[in-house]
Every structure is written in C-alpha cells, then in structure tokens.
Chain A
Amino acid sequence: MSHAETGHLLKVEGLTKRYGARIGCADVSFDLWPGEVMGIVGESGSGKSTLLNCLAGHLVPDAGRVMFDTRAEGMKDTITMSEPERRMLGRTDWAFVHQHARDGLRMNVSAGGNVGERLMAVGARHYGEIRDSAEDWLGRVEIDSGRIDDRPTAFSGGMQQRLQIARNLVTGPRLVFMDEPTGGLDVSVQARLLDLLRGLVREMGLSAIIVTHDLAVVRLLADRLMVMKDGHVVEAGLTDQVLDDPQHAYTQLLVSSVLQV
C-alpha cells in the first residue's frame, strides 16, 4: 500500500488522551481510505468513545496527529487547525451521529428545521430549496414527508435516530463518526437502521468510523476492525478476519461472548 500515501482520507498517528493519571486511549494509529468503513469495538470503558471524540475534535488529545484530507489544502492536522476551520469541517465534510438522538437533534425544532440546520449553517438562504432537500432526505431515511413539521419529541426512538442521520448527511459529508448508532433500539428497528446505513454508505461512497460494542453491527457495516481494551488497540484487521480468526485473547473472549440464538 505504498502508493496510498496521498490517497488517505484520514491518517491518525500516536493519538493519546489521558484523564489525569488514567488513560483514555493510548498511542492509537490507523489509516482510513475514502469509501472505507472502520469499526471500533471493545467493552465499556475501553476508550472507544474517547478515541472517537478526539478524532471528531470534541476532545483535545494530549499527543498525536489526526490528518484529514481537506478539500482546500489537502492533508491537514485537525488538532492544530483553528477552531473556525474545525467547526467548518464539522458542518460540511464531517458528520457525527450520537448514540442518543437527543444529543444530536434539536428537540424543540421541527424535523425539517433539524435537517435544514446544516444547510443554513453553510449559507443556504432559500426557504423553498431548504425545504425540498429536507423532504428529500426524510424520504431517504424512510420518514413520511408529512411529518416534516413535527418535532422530534413526537417521533419514536428509531425515527429520531434516522432523523439524526438525515440531518448529518444532508450536506454530503465525506466522513461520518458514529457512536453506537444502534444502541438503545430494539432489534427489528436496529436491523432496519443497519440496512439503511449500509445502503447510504455504499450509495454515497461515505467513509465512516463506527464505535460500537455490538459485533453484529461491525460485521454488517465495517470493512476493517479495531479492537480496543484499556485504551489500547489490541488487534486490528479486516472485519471478517478478526471476527472469524481472533488472535488476541481479549478478542477471542469478545467473540465467544456473543449470545447465539
């Protein structure tokens, strides 16, 4: 993969975050190519969310670099870039899907307003056009366009999560961070959501980093997998390879702990 030096979408080097003496995540390095989906699994407290938040610019890591292929200037360290630049990325090329839809939605703003917010943040000033793309996106995430003026409080958990995804993808981001996107949903809703996500990821050629403790989610969505324990990456590789032939003791435990129905 020597040719890929210029083709990276994201290049993470030695990322470390400490909470005082405790380790959040330590010395994490990986590469992400355009169109690739990376899964991060591990038990609670293993540093998955810390890592994701560092990558997405919500937390400032203590060491390391997060190089992102910006449209204007090519590879650029998102940790040292200025806050306005990072925020601009956050509403154009990046998207962040929270585990709890309430954290990612404005609950007192209608569904249409939620989807339109990112468009307006990047300068859309035509009500009709904003509404059209909101309607289009509600359709894509299988929300009836008749609900466009309803507030998310009137939506079910699964709908809220799909609305959050629509709201994030409306500006055509290139990299999506997802923190347990299916957590807290019942299994049939999960399955539909995964189906939807898989379709969108393939159709839009999205790259994504998905943090989850649910191995079924990464099996379905992720091309590659990183397994974390106590803040360290203990194993990484192609998803099927890691899940079918786990090498590290912890990964073996993780894989064998999945309940079989």
Chain B
Amino acid sequence: MSDYNFAYLDEQTKRMIRRAILKGLAIPGYQVPFASREMPMPYGWGTGGVQVSAATLTPEDRLKVIDQGADDTTNAVSIRKFFERTAGVATTEETANASVIQTRHRIPEEPLTEDQILVYQVPIPEPLRFLEPSEIETRKMHALEDYGLMHVKLYEDIARHGQIATAYAYPVKVEGRYVMDPSPIPKFDNPKMSDMAAIQLFGAGREQRIYALPPYTQVVSLDFRDFPFEASKADAPCDLCGAEDSYLDEVIVDDEGGRMFICSDTDYCRSRQTKTTGVGRVRSREEA
C-alpha cells in the first residue's frame, strides 16, 4: 500500500462527494454542485470522474477504466494506475468482471448489470451552456423546465446541415423532467443510458457538478417529429471481429487512403475475436 488515504481523497471529502451523489440519484439529471478538489492531474483528464470513483470505491471493488472505449490509452492507463496505487483495488479490462467502470466518451457495448456502477468523466455538464452563458439563467431554466432553447440548437443543426448533426453530447431528457448532457459520448450510446441496470454517475471536476441516473431510469434523446433521433454509427462491420452492432473507430492505416473500421470498445472486440477463433490471441492492428 502507500501512505495515501484509501483512494487518495480524505474521508471528509469522500463523504461530501457521496452526499452529492446521493442527492443526484434522488433527483435524476439534476446537477448537484460539490466542492471539487484539486487532483494530481490536469483538468480535462477526468478529475470529476476520478473524484466520484474515489468516493464510490471500496477495497473489494474491481475497477475498469476506459477512454474512448479503449483500456490501453494514456488516460485510461494513468487513472487505472492511480487507483492501483492509492486504493490498492483490483483492476480488470473485462467489462463483465468490473464492479466500477470509469469512462470517458463511451458506454461499453456489453450490457451492464445491477452490480455495476458506471462513472462518466464530464467536461461541461450544462447542456444549455453554449446557448445561454449565464449560470443564473440556466439554473432558472432548469428549475422552470424552460427548455425551448435546447430545440433551437437542434433546429439550427437541421437548418445548416439538413439533419441533426450533433453526433456526441446529444442532449437527453431524464424521466420527463431534467434536460441533461450525457457527457461527450457518441449519440450511438444514448439509447443504452435509458433503462440501464447499472447506476450511472457523472462527475465534472472543473465545473464542480455531479449528476446521476439511478438504475432503470427513462432517458429520451430530444428530437423533432419529422427529424427523429437516430443512433448513428459508421456503416461498416468491425474489420477485426466482424461486429455489426458496435460503435466503430475509423483508423487510417497508410498515407494512400487506406483505412479500417474497428470496435472502439477494445474489450468487446477482443472477447469476440477470442470466441470466433477459439484462441485467446489478440490480432494487432499491423497484422490486420
């Protein structure tokens, strides 16, 4: 172990964050202010998610950290190591084996269960922010359910691009009440948020906000009747595992226009390859 308190934060801070989380769970989609602490990493690296994870973890937990769906990117590796060192918890890359999953920009493809908690890193928690700069005003708008402005944004999208071009951080309405920013996940993931068995927690460190979705909460993506919401993805199967139902990253493989589509959820892709080939081998990108 180390000289750090369990999971880095002191107990009083974790208590304060837990209270914010509980309040958030009690009012799904409502942004609860909390006294965000300075963390040993820069803002934008997931300081909000890390604090929520720290307040959520117990010594028995098994932690998985993903960044854009991948377990092996800098951000994911750093945060995983951070908790290995400060909390001494077990870690995993397998979605099904994790009890707490901290994520940046994705929801795992494998459906989550009631025994799991999904922690999102959130850069800007306020869905109305780019339309209404005043925090006083946006809070009032939330309080009064004055959400016409949200559709103005979607209207502008259609007027300019012929369709709703918002592809990530697509605004949702929670249980028919609060409009919420789902963090910058692709809109492909939006339907997964609704009626999810796992608890979903959202932490924004710089903006000092926590919000939450309890299990089995109704989450509806905003749209127009003649331009309904569509969970879009690249129109291709994964070049590594052949999955047609998972969100894909486009990877440029040479400088002659060559490209391939691969699952952004690395664990999902690997488990499918293992199943089809019967060998626990991971094909590297060079091989493919």
Tell whether A and B belong to one assembly.
Answer: yes
Q: Which residues of A contact B (CB under 8 A)?
A: 83-84, 87, 91, 106, 109-110, 112-113, 116-118, 120-122, 125-128, 130-131, 148-149
Please give, as numbers and ranges, the residues of chain B lying within 8 Å of A128 by CB-CB distance.
226
Given A127-B224, A127-B226, the answer on whether A149 and B159 have CB atoms closer than 8 Å is: yes
Check A149 against B160 for contact (C-beta < 8 Å): yes
B165, CB-defined interface residue at 8 Å: no
| CB-nearest residue of chain A to B154 | A127
A-B contact pairs, 12 of them (CB 8 A): A83-B144, A84-B145, A87-B144, A91-B148, A113-B156, A118-B148, A120-B148, A120-B149, A120-B155, A125-B225, A127-B227, A149-B160
B158-200 CB mask vs A (1 if < 8 Å, else 0) is 1110000000000000000000000000000000000000000
Interchain CB contact under 8 A, B155 and A116: yes
- CA–CA, A118 and B223, complex, Å: 17
- B22 surroundings in chain A (CB, below 8 A): none
A129 to B152, CA, bound (A): 14
* Distance, CA A83 to CA B139, complexed state (A): 13
B70 to chain A, nearest CB (A): 35
B285 contacts A by Cβ under 8 Å: no
B151 close to A (CB within 8 Å): yes
Bound complex: CA A61 to CA B151 (Å): 33
Nearest chain B CB to A22's CB is how many angstroms away?
Answer: 26
- Which residue on A lies nearest to B158, using beta carbons? A127
Note all chain A residues with C-beta closer than 8 A to B131. 106, 109
Give the number of residues in B that approach A within 8 Å (Cβ atoms). Answer: 20
- B103-143 vs A, CB cutoff 8 Å, 1 = contact: the mask equals 00000000000000000000000000001000000001000
> B146 near A: Cβ within 8 Å?
yes
Inter-chain contact B160/A126, CB cutoff 8 Å = no
Q: Decide if A117 touches B149 in the complex (CB within 8 Å).
A: yes
Note all chain A residues with C-beta closer than 8 A to B152: 106, 109, 113, 116-117, 120
Residues in chain A near residue B144, CB distance under 8 A: 83-84, 87
Complex CA distance for A122 and B226, rounded to whole angstroms: 17
> In whole angstroms, what is the CA distance A82 to B140 when docked?
13
Cβ contact of A125, chosen from B140, B146, B149, B224, cutoff 8 A: B224
Interface positions of B from 202 to 235, Cβ below 8 Å from A = 223-227
Least distance between B223 CB and chain A CB atoms (Å): 8
A38 to B7, CA, bound (A): 67
Interface-centre pick from B155, B158, B160 (highest chain A CB count, 10 A): B155
The 8 Å CB contact of A110, one of B151, B156, B223, B227, is B156
Kindly provide the distance from the CB of B220 to the nearest chain A CB, expressed in whole angstroms: 12
What's the Cα separation between A118 and B151 when bound, in Å? 10
> CA of A91 to CA of B144 in the docked complex: distance in angstroms?
13
Starting from the known contacts A87-B146, A116-B152, A121-B147, 9 additional A-B residue pairs (CB-CB under 8 Å) come to A83-B144, A109-B156, A110-B159, A112-B159, A113-B152, A113-B156, A117-B152, A127-B224, A127-B227
Task: Chain B residues near A131: list those with CB within 8 A.
Answer: 159
Given A112-B159, A113-B156, A149-B159, does the pair A125, B148 have CB atoms closer than 8 Å? no
Q: Are A113 and B225 in contact (CB under 8 A)?
A: no
Whether B155 lies near A113 (C-beta < 8 A) is yes
A22–B152 alpha-carbon span in the complex (Å): 41
Q: With both chains docked as a complex, state the minimum distance between the C-beta of B227 and any C-beta of chain A, in angstroms.
A: 5
Decide if A126 touches B226 in the complex (CB within 8 Å): yes
Which chain A residues lie closer than 8 Å to B160 at the CB level? 110, 149
Bound complex: CA A106 to CA B153 (Å): 11
Query: Nearest chain-A residue to B156 (Cβ)?
Result: A113
- Chain A nearest CB: distance from B133 CB in Å? 11
CA distance A118 to B147 in the complex (A): 11
Q: How far is the CB of A260 from chain B (nearest CB, A)?
A: 46
Q: Chain A residues near B158: list those with CB within 8 A.
A: 127
Chain A residues with CB under 8 Å of B159's CB are 110, 112-113, 131, 148-149
- Chain A residues whose CB sits within 8 angstroms of the CB of B146 once the complex forms: 87, 121
In the complex, which of the residues B146, B159, B160, B227 has the most CB atoms of chain A within 10 Å of its own CB atom? Answer: B159
| Complex Cα gap A149–B140 (Å) | 29
Of A117, A122, A127, chain B has the most CB atoms within 10 Å of the CB of: A127
* Choice from B140, B148, B156, B226 contacting A121 with Cβ under 8 Å: B148
A118 CA / B155 CA spacing, docked (Å): 12
CB distance from A96 to the nearest CB of B (A): 16
Closest chain-A Cβ to B138's Cβ sits at a distance in Å of: 14
CB distance from B247 to the nearest CB of A (A): 26
**Which chain A residues border B223 with CB–CB below 8 Å?**
125
Least CB distance, A111 to chain B, in whole angstroms:
10
A149 to B146, CA, bound (A): 24
- Expressed in whole angstroms, the Cα–Cα distance for A120 and B224 within the complex equals 10
Residues of chain A contacted by B155 (CB below 8 angstroms): 112-113, 116, 120, 127, 130
